[in-house]
Amino acid sequence: MSGNNILLVDDDEIILQLLSIHFRGRGFRCSTASSGVEALELLARQRVHVLVTDLQMPGMDGIELLHQIHERGIITRSVVVTGYASLANLTACLREGAVALVAKPLNDLTELDRAVDQAMSLVGAWMRQMDSIVQLRQPRAGGEDMDRT
């Protein structure tokens, strides 16, 4: 996972610190934000492969953050963590593009790790697809792409 950027968003500073330590230990470059607004500011300035956000936060909640990311055309994969897991929350998060909804408490980070790995896998597939498209569009050596009129 080396070189992959993850943004952690939670209004609980202790959770941010613990998750940051955990994901840095897994080889991620971590950024943190304590609100949806702060997260959007960071996303505007830097490339983030995976966003991990809390659902319930004051001001802008996780669903609205995901909606704003989509509206602004920011390309990232998202995982939502919540102490309020429900079918309605899961549906809303998936509708806004989340890869997974992980229930709190996060005593065992195995499920969160799996969700982040899934998100990274999707990012990797997307990047490989984009590389293929770029290679197809590059002119071939020897002028083979020139029009023959």
DSSP states of 44-92 as a string? HHS--SEEEEES--SSS-HHHHHHHHHHTT---EEEEEES---HHHHHH
- pLDDT for position 128: 73
Q: Which residues pair with 98 in a beta bridge?
A: 78
Q: What's the pTM value of the predicted model, to 2 decimals? A: 0.82
- pLDDT for position 26: 95
- pLDDT for position 68: 96
- pLDDT tens digits for the chain (149 residues)? 446 999 999 999 999 999 999 999 999 999 999 999 999 999 999 999 999 999 999 999 999 999 999 999 998 999 999 988 888 888 999 999 899 999 988 888 999 999 999 999 888 777 777 777 777 777 766 555 545 44
- pLDDT for position 55: 95
Domains of the chain (ranges, CATH numbers): 5-137 (3.40.50.2300)
